[in-house]
Homo-oligomer: A and B are copies of this chain.
Amino acid sequence: MISVLSGGVGAARLLSALSRVLEPSEITAIVNVGDDLVLHGLTICPDLDTISYTLAGLNNDEAGWGLRGESWRVMDELSELGGAAWFRLGDRDLATHLYRSQRISEGATKSDVTRELCQRWGVQVRLLPVTNDTVATEFDTPLGRLSFQQYFVEHHHDVVVSGIEVVGADTAHAAPDVLETLRECSRIVIAPSNPLISIDPILQVPGVREVLARRRDDVVAVSPIISGAALKGPADRLLAELGHDVSCVGVADYYEGLIGTFIIDQADADLRDVISARGVKVEVTTTVMADPDDALRLARVVLA
């Protein structure tokens, strides 16, 4: 049994590869909910959805986001009405949010809904939202305080960030099975997701960071930074703006005290010794999951 702390796309790809090496039912993804939002009355969980869509084989590989065979009738009509259409929700995707919102209004938790949807889609990897309480990652910027999706989607993460706060994290409760699973699994993997806005909101839920610190020898992280740049998203820019080194060394330092092994890309092989000197084992491989074979190779290193 392994656990994987997971953001969106990068984690989804790693989980997909891991489930070709292990029995999927032996993998638990503990998923960020800091970028969840309520929009148009609908509860939307972007990271949970990205992962479950990917594992169900429903994701749109070409676009890199969203669902295969998606259509946009509702959004087109909403634009006509002058509604808030900056957050694009396809018709298929909307069905997921309608389902979740109705179940939550009936008293179900995000954990319950995630389990129900995964069962429907035949997803055997176990997905757990890190918490069923409301936590919201917010950004201090020259435009004021921005919600996650305002920052990420509306402003295309093209605005200077001077601070990040995961509102509600300090009083949130880990969802059922999260801490138990982290305590009892054989290995904890930190996916190559954004350390500041995908992984940190997981670590901030009381109990999670403590388990990792206690089990650091069993914790393996994959660097999301290669040659000083993020493959996707604003991880590099945020590291710089918030005073971290923009390299895999910066990420290793960010996870100081929490990881026993750090996996970096071949392009960063020359930084191996710098990181080893921190008392962290370093593995060097191809971390870019450009095709299924690369992903599989990375999965094998993660599990080695």
Contact = CB atoms under 8 A, between A and B. Distances in A.
Interface in A64-85: 71, 73-75, 77-78, 80-84
Nearest to A73: B91
A40 B77 contact: no
Contact of A120 (B40, B81, B84, B94): B81
B73 A102 contact: no
Contacts of A92: 73-74, 77
B41 A82 contact: no
A162 B71 CA distance: 45
Nearest to A105: B41
A78 B95 contact: yes
A123 to B, nearest CB: 13
A96 interface: yes
Given A42-B40, A91-B74, A92-B73, A81 B99 contact: yes
A6 interface: no
A43 B82 CA distance: 17
19 contacts: A38-B41, A39-B102, A40-B41, A40-B98, A40-B99, A40-B101, A40-B102, A41-B41, A41-B97, A41-B98, A42-B42, A42-B101, A73-B73, A73-B92, A74-B95, A80-B95, A81-B117, A82-B99, A91-B91
Question: Which 8 interchain pairs have the tightest Cβ spacing?
Answer: A41-B101, A77-B95, A40-B98, A41-B41, A73-B91, A83-B99, A78-B95, A40-B102
Interface of A: 38-43, 71, 73-75, 77-78, 80-84, 91-92, 94-99, 101-102, 104-105, 116-117, 120
